[in-house]
Structure 1
Amino acid sequence: MLVGGRRRLGRALAEDLAGDHDLVLTSSRPWEGEDWLAGLSRKAQIRTLHWDAERPELVSRMMADLEALDTAGVVISGAVIVAGTFPEAPLGSWTAEGLEATWRINLAFPLLCAQALAPRLAEGACLQFLLDTSIHQPWLKRLPYSAAKGGLASVIPGLAQSLAPRVRVVGHALGAILPVEGSDEAFLAERTLLKRLGEPADLCRAVRYAADSPFLTGEILTLDGGRRWI
């Protein structure tokens, strides 16, 4: 299951995993008009859900959808929570509404998803979270976002303890993979030891590694090309 499996890294993960997995994908918007799903459906069974973090009925919607999957005989063998935003908000521009929105999408929503998914995951499943290298070096122009990701990172070992031994929990602290439009890609690449940007394939390999490593839990894997050592 991919929570946020519609755009950018979520879509890249979906396209990779559909080669050998049936998938349940969620999005904050309705799925009509997503023609790329037709290609996935030729390789795997694809189910889509509409989970919008802005809706007051989110939790009841999640529980109803998961109950319907269970009734349909769907076994969730693993889940990756991809959903998030990357808002620029330097000191001096903060508002109560803006902070709440950033933390709702990047912290509260992943936690609510984990709470809903945990009892539905198969024994031995891995629950994975996409984080950010800002947990090591905060983005000064995105401090509220960095705070949200840092909060989520702090929950990883606690969730691992709470869900052990039935479910494992792993985080991925990502560097520059599919940078936002307008980014200085040459500068970002130079700010790594490997002198390159990450690729979606780097994340796909890490997600598969975590899913296939039954003795791995409570850890955060960093995929940043060594950025934090510069």
Structure 2
Amino acid sequence: MNTVQKVAIVTGASRGIGAALVPAYRELGYAVTATARSLEESSDPDVLTVSGDVAEPGVGARIVDATLSRFGRIDTLVNNAGVFVAKPFTEYTDEDYDLVTGVNLRGFFETSRSAVAAMLSRDGGGHVVNLSTSLVDHASSQAPSALASLTKGGLNAVTRALAIEYAARGIRVNTVALGVIRTPMHPPETYEGLAASHPLGRMGEIDDVVNAIVYLENAPFVTGETLHVDGGQSAGR
């Protein structure tokens, strides 16, 4: 009987979707490294907390190194950390660009590069899950967000590229593209208007996203997929 405990890394784990993914992976039997810019140490010996901003050079590698030192392996990386800044294109500043690309692209690149290298160092493969947005496929004049499309669209594309590059080594790569999810980033007074943007007539819940990621974790024949969790938004209106 194989008793090796699998290990997942969840970025952006201090609140919202990331915070909910930590107990979800524990329920699957995984040890978890939870990372964010700031978070409290866990009392669970199978949860390692690592503070750090994935936008900063070297932080992604440090998270992976800490995970290997504590648990000895990495099976899954969930690139949940992300930044969304909605503005008309010409109003974006250089600071906006650095912020969004830093988290959404550098954070993905550095953490994934180190995590995939760790997966390749042993037999058994692994899984990378990225968080994207349905705005990449279904742009909206009500939510101008070119930097989200620029960065998250890149994640959709690299998901397919890495899935093919590493399929023969047993490493799967998938993306979950979200509609508007009820998280702390949205004030309650906006809920009614945001719900109307989805054909199903409601906002997504954190559990909708967690369930989708758990599905992908338990779907070994699925790779290179962008799974839309958006209430039908990407299909049309």
Above 0.5 in TM-score?
yes
Q: CA RMSD in A?
A: 2.1
Gaps of 5+ in 1: none
Q: Deviations over 1:114-143 (max 9, x none)?
A: 111002236242210011111112354321
**Residues 160 and 60 (structure 1 numbering): CA distance in 2 closer, same or farther, change over 3 Å?**
closer
Matches within 5 A, 1:113-124: 113-121=111-119, 123-124=124-125
Deviation (angstroms), 1:5: 1.5
Q: Verify: 1:85 aligned to 2:83, yes or no.
A: yes
**Residues 113 and 138 (structure 1 numbering): CA distance in 2 closer, same or farther, change over 3 Å?**
farther
Question: What is the match of residue 9 of structure 1?
Answer: 17
Distance between the aligned counterparts of 2:182 and 2:209, measured in 1? 11
Question: What is the match of residue 169 of structure 1?
Answer: 173
Distance between the aligned counterparts of 1:45 and 1:128, measured in 2? 21
SS in 1 for 2:89: coil
Distance between the aligned counterparts of 2:108 and 2:55, measured in 1? 13
Distance between the aligned counterparts of 2:154 and 2:173, measured in 1? 15
Q: Verify: 1:23 aligned to 2:32, yes or no.
A: yes
Are 1:86 and 1:145, in contact at CA under 8 Å, matched by a contact in 2? yes
SS in 2 for 1:131: strand
**Residues 24 and 64 (structure 1 numbering): CA distance in 2 closer, same or farther, change over 3 Å?**
closer
Q: Which 4+ residue blocks in structure 1 deviate beyond 3 angstroms? A: 54-57
Aligned equivalent of 2:157, options 154, 162, 166: 154
The percentage of counterpart residues that share the same residue type is 26
Deviation (angstroms), 1:60: 5.0
Aligned equivalent of 1:109, options 95, 103, 107: 107
Question: What is the match of residue 145 of structure 2?
Answer: 142
Distance between the aligned counterparts of 1:15 and 1:27, measured in 2? 16
Matches within 5 A, 1:51-62: 51-58=52-59, 61-62=62-63
Question: Normalization by structure 1: what TM-score?
Answer: 0.85
Q: Verify: 1:188 aligned to 2:194, yes or no.
A: yes
**Residues 20 and 216 (structure 1 numbering): CA distance in 2 closer, same or farther, change over 3 Å?**
closer
Question: Normalization by structure 2: what TM-score?
Answer: 0.83
Distance between the aligned counterparts of 2:221 and 2:116, measured in 1? 18
**Residues 191 and 110 (structure 1 numbering): CA distance in 2 closer, same or farther, change over 3 Å?**
same
Question: What is the match of residue 6 of structure 2?
Answer: none
SS in 1 for 2:90: coil
Deviation (angstroms), 1:201: 1.2
Distance between the aligned counterparts of 2:207 and 2:97, measured in 1? 32
